Amino acid sequence: MTPAAIIFDFDGVIADSEVRANLSLAESLTAVGMPTTYDECLRDYYGHNWQETQRRIEARFGRALPADFRETHRTRARARFMEGFDAVPGAPAFLDTLGSTPRAIASSSRAEYIDWALGLFGLRHHFGEHIYSADGWDRGKPHPDIYFAAAKGLGVDPAQCLVIEDSPIGVRAGLAAGMTVVGFCGASHIVDRPAHGEVLRSTGVHHLAFAFDEISIMG
């Protein structure tokens, strides 16, 4: 099946951001007396929107985050993101091959951050108004709501959409929406790519790709 549309996760698929995001979150949590490592952040919070991440942090430590935590953390993260932040290798070239194929972003991250990063990468024109964010939603990934919203915005049957996702949480969201899911293992936070591929395969992906040139939208 040639998909009617392609829906991209953002962090770890378009933006090579997960290392920076999880390092800065670990630093921010440790700074407020909630000691957390990078590996713990990647294990426990990867793929979730902020609302679910906050719920998980507070459940782990048994107390609320400081009221200004998100703003303070955002300042720290932005400084880290300015240090050589770029797109995932192969993402710009892949987008250039899509021609008129409808496409969207369906992400757990803030829409303002996505827009900023796409501008930084020179990729903003590829998506137009089709940037969908689950930030602020009570039901983020692994619920399918954000993928349904993207398909509706594109005017495409969810069953005719191809999803590209790097996290098990995101894969579950795409599958729950009834979409065909490619498990992507091409960003820098995935150190053991075969092992991560097996995790995604066990989550139920239809296809695996270790680089963008392994993704074909035909057939």
Name all domains of the chain by residue range, CATH numbers in brackets: 5-16+85-214 (3.40.50.1000), 18-81 (1.10.150)
Q: At what angle do helices 145-154 and 168-176 cross, to 10 degrees?
A: 60
pTM for the predicted model, two decimal places: 0.89
Q: What percent of the chain has pLDDT over 90?
A: 87
Asked if residue 188 lies in contact with residue 165, where contact means CB atoms within 8 angstroms, the answer is: no
63 pLDDT higher than 60: yes
pLDDT at 78 over 90: no
Query: Which distant-in-sequence residues (6+ apart) come within 8 Å of 56 by Cβ?
Result: 44, 45, 48
Residues 178-183: what's their mean pLDDT?
Answer: 97
Model pLDDT, residue 151: 98
pLDDT in tens, 188-198: 899 899 999 99
Q: Which long-range contacts (CB under 8 A, 24 or more apart) does 109-114 make?
A: 109/10, 109/11, 109/49, 109/133, 109/135, 110/50, 110/135, 111/135, 114/10, 114/15
Q: What percent of the chain has pLDDT over 70?
A: 98
pLDDT at 218 over 60: no
Residue 153 pLDDT > 70? yes
Q: Which of 22-36, 78-92, 158-172 has the lowest mean pLDDT?
A: 78-92
pLDDT level of residue 219 (50, 70, 90 thresholds):
very low
Q: What is the mean pLDDT of residues 151-169?
A: 97
* Side-chain-side CA neighbours of residue 5 (13 Å): 25
- More confident position, 46 or 96: 96
Mean pLDDT for the stretch of residues 106-118: 93
Q: What is the mean pLDDT of residues 96-125?
A: 94
1 by Cβ neighbours in 10 Å (0-12 / 13-18 / 19+) ranks as exposed
Q: Is the pLDDT of residue 163 over 90?
A: yes
Q: Which pLDDT score, from 0 to 100, does residue 1 have?
A: 63
Average pLDDT in the 203-207 region? 96
